[in-house]
Each structure stands twice: as structure tokens, then as C-alpha cells.
């Protein structure tokens, strides 16, 4: 089937990432996907999940409906629906991103809300902007939209990190054993040098990366404050408390006013392997209790191979933010 999509690659000067502690590049690719765009067409920013890149959105699958296939389906079903989608490259040496500013990783919240936003405004002019993502990308979409209502008019959170006690704590014992064996910095070196990785090692890297974003510590190994003691394996309560400040289930109540006029869409599989169905459901319930309009779509799925969810949510997000009043821009 011929595609109706126009795809271009540009390069952004990520000033916010200059001199980042991991030595990751400042100049970043961004893929721009357009369909029937006009002067008032909204822009959607797509954030990759952990272990994913901007290029991951463009990879073709021959077993599942992939992202490009989903966009083709959207354009075939809605030939007059215009959109612009920006997919920024945000990969780090930690193999992923949570899209927040961190002294251990770099200023990725600023990269999205300043560098990428500035690039898009210069290229397309002022427009309505939405944001979407899955897993870490879903966490980023919620977090950025709820913190920057002056920029974003809505978001799609697909199985985003939430209810941290369910999605993270189960990985702590295995990560404790691995990090106690190597140390934080040496484990990262070991991971980089290994040609393949066990599930336990992948979980440990993810735990270290979350620590780098949620609890950086300049005076600790690799600049990262772990949420458990390497002596006992028990929680370091003061650091776990810092993690919970980033938990959407915990902080959404303080951001209700920022979300009140946004288009809010949640999607999740009822069999999510990281129990994110619990956190996503709780977020939707909290918004309902406080009179914040939102849509939650549940599927008989797990966490992986669910790019087709966007076939339901991207048209809804585009239509929703097109109707939203333009108070801030």
C-alpha cells in the first residue's frame, strides 16, 4: 500500500544539552512527518519509550501493526485529517530518557520545551501542540504537558510509568545484587562492553537510569543516588521519597489546573507486564474525581507491540486540541 506520508529529517541545535555529564551529542536529529498540513495544522511531538529512539518510530514490523502503518491507517480512514508529527532523537548513554532535567544526565525537559519547541515555532510558526508517547515516553508526555500548559494543549499517555511501587519496586532485589557486585559506574561499563544482556541486566540498567533522572547525587558513584542501600538492600527512604515526587499518581493532584483545559487521553493494556494499568487507571480516576475531562482506553494487551493504539488516540488528540481555546499563545 502506498504511503500518504511525507517524512523529512532535520537537525536541531540542542543548546540545553551542551556539556551534559554523559557526553551525549548536542546536535540532534528530528524526523518530521506531515500529511495534508495547512497553516493551522497542529503539531504532535512523539517521545520514544526507554531503549527506543526516534528511528524506532520509523522501523517497519512484519508481525505487528507498526507506527508508520498506524499512521497510514489513520490517513486512509481520515484522508482530510491534517497533521505534523515531530519525532526528536533523545537517546542517552543510559539507553533511554525520562524527559526531565537531571544533573546526572542532562536537561532533556529544556531540550523539548526550549530547543525543539523553538525549532518547530521557527519552522512552522505558532501552532497548537500536543505530545504523545508510550512507557517512558508516556511518562514524558504527561509530565511535560502537565508542567507546561503554555506550550501543550493535550497529550496521549500510553502505558506511562506511574504508581512507582508497582512498576519499579519488583526490580530492586535483582538490581541490588548486580550493582553490589560491580558498583554503579562499573556496571555501566560492563553493560557497554557486553555484546548481549540478560533480562536481569536490562532491568538493572533501567533502575540505574531511573535513579539518574529521579535522584541524581553528584557525590555518589557515577553521580547517581540509588534508592536502596548497597549494604543492606533496604530502601533509602529519603531517596525513594524523591522518586515518588515524580510519580504521576502522586503529583497529578497538584497539576489539576494545568490539565483542566487540555485534551487528556490514556491508553493501557489490562495485562501490562509492569502493572502500569494500575497507575494509568488511578490517574484517570483522580482526574474524574476532580472534574477534569479525560478519556481512558483499555485493551486486552500487555506492554509490547501496541503501536496500533495510536490509531485510536492520535485522531482524537488532533481533533481535541484543534477545538481547545488558544489562551496562552
Q: If pLDDT is split at 50, 70 and 90, which confidence band does 323 have?
A: confident
Percent of the chain with pLDDT over 90: 97
Domain 6-162+248-323, CATH class in plain words: alpha beta
In this prediction, residue 326 carries a pLDDT of: 59
**Is pLDDT at 175 greater than 50 in this prediction?**
yes
Q: pTM, whole model, 2 decimals? A: 0.97
| 82 Cβ contact partners less than 8 Å away, ≥ 6 residues apart | 35, 36, 37, 38, 41
Distance CA 252, CA 255 (A): 5
Residue 26 CB partners (closer than 8 Å, separation 6+): 13, 14, 15, 17, 18, 20
Mean of pLDDT over the chain: 96
Cβ–Cβ contacts within 10 Å for residue 42, how many?
A: 22
Q: Which of 58, 69, 51, 47 is nearest to 129 (CA)?
A: 47
- pLDDT tens-digit profile of 104-123? 999 999 999 999 999 999 99
pLDDT digits (tens, 9 = 90+) for 3-57: 789 999 999 999 999 999 999 999 999 999 999 999 999 999 999 999 999 999 9
Express each pLDDT in 263-280 by its tens digit: 999 999 999 999 999 999
Tell me the mean pLDDT in the region 292-303: 98
pLDDT 10s digits, 222-260: 999 999 999 999 999 999 999 999 999 999 999 999 999
Angstrom distance (rounded) from CA 252 to CA 267: 17
Cell (9 digits) for 322: 484543534
Cell triple for 190: 560492563
Provide the residue ranges of all domains of the chain, joining segments of one domain with +. Answer: 6-162+248-323, 166-245
Instruction: Name the nearest CA neighbour of 206 among 305, 273, 265, 252.
Output: 273
Amino acid at each position: 500500500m502506498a504511503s500518504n506520508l511525507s517524512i523529512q529529517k532535520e537537525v536541531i541545535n540542542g543548546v540545553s544539552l551542551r556539556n551534559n555529564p554523559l557526553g551525549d551529542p548536542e546536535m540532534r536529529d528530528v524526523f518530521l512527518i506531515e500529511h495534508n498540513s495547512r497553516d493551522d495544522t497542529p503539531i504532535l511531538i512523539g517521545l520514544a519509550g526507554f531503549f527506543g529512539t526516534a528511528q524506532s518510530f520509523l522501523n517497519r514490523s512484519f508481525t505487528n501493526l507498526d507506527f508508520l502503518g498506524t499512521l497510514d491507517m489513520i490517513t486512509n480512514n481520515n484522508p482530510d485529517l491534517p497533521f505534523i508529527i515531530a519525532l526528536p532523537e533523545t537517546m542517552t548513554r543510559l539507553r533511554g530518557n525520562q524527559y526531565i532535567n537531571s544533573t546526572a544526565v542532562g536537561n532533556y525537559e529544556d531540550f523539548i520545551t526550549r530547543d525543539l519547541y523553538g525549532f518547530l515555532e521557527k519552522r512552522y510558526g505558532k501552532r497548537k501542540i500536543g505530545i504523545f508517547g508510550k512507557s517512558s515516553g508516556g511518562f514524558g508526555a504527561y509530565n511535560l504537558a502537565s508542567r507546561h500548559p503554555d506550550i501543550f494543549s493535550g497529550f496521549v499517555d500510553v502505558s506511562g510509568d506511574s504508581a512507582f511501587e508497582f512498576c519499579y519496586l519488583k526490580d530492586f532485589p535483582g538490581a541490588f545484587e548486580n550493582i553490589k557486585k560491580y558498583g554503579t559506574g562499573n556496571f555501566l561499563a560492563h553493560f557497554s562492553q557486553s555484546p548481549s544482556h540478560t533480562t536481569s541486566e536490562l532491568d538493572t540498567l533501567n533502575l540505574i537510569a531511573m535513579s539518574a533522572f529521579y535522584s541524581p547525587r553528584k557525590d555518589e558513584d557515577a553521580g547517581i543516588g540509588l534508592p536502596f542501600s548497597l549494604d543492606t538492600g533496604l530502601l533509602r527512604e529519603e531517596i525513594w521519597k524523591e522518586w515518588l515526587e515524580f510519580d504521576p499518581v502522586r503529583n497529578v493532584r497538584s497539576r489539576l489546573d494545568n490539565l483542566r483545559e487540555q485534551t487528556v487521553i490514556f491508553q493501557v493494556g489490562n495485562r501490562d507486564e509492569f502493572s502500569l494499568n494500575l497507575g494509568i487507571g488511578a490517574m484517570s480516576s483522580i482526574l474524574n474525581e476532580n472534574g477534569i475531562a479525560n478519556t481512558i482506553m483499555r485493551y486486552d494487551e500487555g506492554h509490547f507491540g501496541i503501536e496500533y493504539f495510536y490509531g485510536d488516540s492520535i485522531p482524537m488528540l488532533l481533533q481535541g486540541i484543534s477545538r481547545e481555546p488558544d489562551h496562552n499563545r
